[in-house]
Amino acid sequence: MAYEFATIYWRDMLRFVRFRIALVASLIQPALWMALYGAAMSSNFSRLGSGMVVPVGAVTVSYLTFMGAGVIALTTLFTSLFGGITLLFDKNWGLMRELLASPMPRNHIIVGIGLSGVTKSFIQVMVIMGFGLVIGVRFFQGYTLLQTVGAILGVLLFVGIFSLGFLFLSSAISMSMETPEGLQAVITLLTLPLFFASNALYPIDAFPGPVRILSQFNPMTHLVNGVRYFAVGNDFYAIGTHYVYTTNDLLISLLALMAFAAVMFLVAWRVFKKAVVT
């Protein structure tokens, strides 16, 4: 029986609840995004967009609601990209040799870290959605209770797969890096384009050509699509753009994220198989 990944999960979650400061900080950051950037941009956009003609039948949503999905994506990206950092610390100052010299198959380490990272992301996303509702994000408008539960599960599905992909990537990077400084640099470098070349904060239609193409391959864009579909709806109007998501669009985004996660798992697996820590 191979449940050793559950042990890695258990250990990582133990550390998570022990470092409450990290948990709190990771929740304050998205709250600040929404409270400061979101509120400021929202009032600006409503001023600019006051003269625009809303297409017939489309529901207008506020910028705050629009970017709420982006903040969920950003937070998940951050948490997941840093989720593998434990492995680097283990490698340099602790447990990694004990893990690698054990009979446990190495892919259990990857899976265990992946699942604990997803759990952390779920907790964060739930808190962000709750906080969002308090400050005026209009998610799940007009949904029945059952629909709301379904929509939340839908959001979590997208968040989960996206998060796994970046956790696998993070594990692979952490395992190949020698120092936390190097890891920090690589992750910061990755975060910026992933975040800005996506539809998290604004529509991608207005992007210059190459960036638009890039953004269509960006997992962030697919995550945001999924979150908006479930939390905001499949037909809405925000910051001058009419959004219509078909079921096909949704499936494509889901498949794109699954493919991304699968490839990242293979990358991480390869790194772990070859890893020598002595």
Partner 1 sequence: MSANIIEVKNLEYKYGDFKAVDGVSFFVREGEIFSFLGPNGAGKSTVINILTTLLPVQKGTAFVAGYDLAREPEQVRRSIGIVFQDETLDRDLTVWESLELHGRIYSMPKDERRQRIDEIIKLVELEEKRDVRTRNLSGGMKRRLEIGRGLMTRPKVLFLDEPTIGLDTQTRRRMWDYIKMVNESGTTIFLTTHYMDEADLVSNWIDIVDHGKIIASGNPTDLKDALGRDMIYLQTSDDEATKNMLQGFKAVMDVKATTQGLVVTINTDGTHCLPLIMNRLKEKGIEIISVNLKKPTLDDVFVHHTGRDIRNAGAEKLHRIQPRGGK
Where along the sequence are the contacts to partner 1 (CB under 8 A)?
Answer: 1, 4, 6-7, 10-11, 14-15, 18-19, 90, 94-104, 276-278
CA triple 210-212-217, angle to 5 deg: 100
- Closer CB to partner 1, 10 or 217, in the complex: 10
Of 209, 206, 201, nearest in space to 228 by CA: 201
- Closer CB to partner 1, 116 or 198, in the complex: 116
CB of 63 to partner 1, least distance (A): 41
- Closer CB to partner 1, 102 or 141, in the complex: 102
CA torsion, points 118, 230, 265, 164, in degrees to nearest 10? Answer: -10
CB of 274 to partner 1, least distance (A): 11
Q: What whole-number distance in Å separates Cα of residue 173 and Cα of residue 190?
A: 11
CB of 213 to partner 1, least distance (A): 43
CB of 9 to partner 1, least distance (A): 11
Reduced to 3 DSSP states, what percent helix, strand and coil does the chain have, rounded to the nearest 5?
75, 5, 20
The H-assigned helical ranges of 4-106 are 4-18, 20-32, 39-48, 63-82, 85-93, 96-100
Query: Are the C-beta atoms of 226 and 256 separated by less than 8 Å?
Result: no
The H-assigned helical ranges of 94-144 are 96-100, 107-135
- Closer CB to partner 1, 104 or 262, in the complex: 104
CB of 176 to partner 1, least distance (A): 17
Which position has the token pair 């492995």?
Answer: 87
Q: Are strands 241-244 and 235-238 parallel, antiparallel or unpaired?
A: antiparallel
Distance of CA 229 to the CA centre of its chain: 15
- Closer CB to partner 1, 98 or 181, in the complex: 98
CB of 92 to partner 1, least distance (A): 10
Of 120, 103, 109, 215, nearest in space to 159 by CA: 120
Q: What whole-number distance in Å separates Cα of residue 202 and Cα of residue 238?
A: 9
Residues sharing a CB contact under 8 Å with residue 7, sequence separation 6 or more, in sequence order: 104, 108, 112
- Closer CB to partner 1, 88 or 250, in the complex: 88
- Closer CB to partner 1, 110 or 197, in the complex: 110
CB of 26 to partner 1, least distance (A): 18
CB of 95 to partner 1, least distance (A): 5
- Closer CB to partner 1, 75 or 171, in the complex: 171
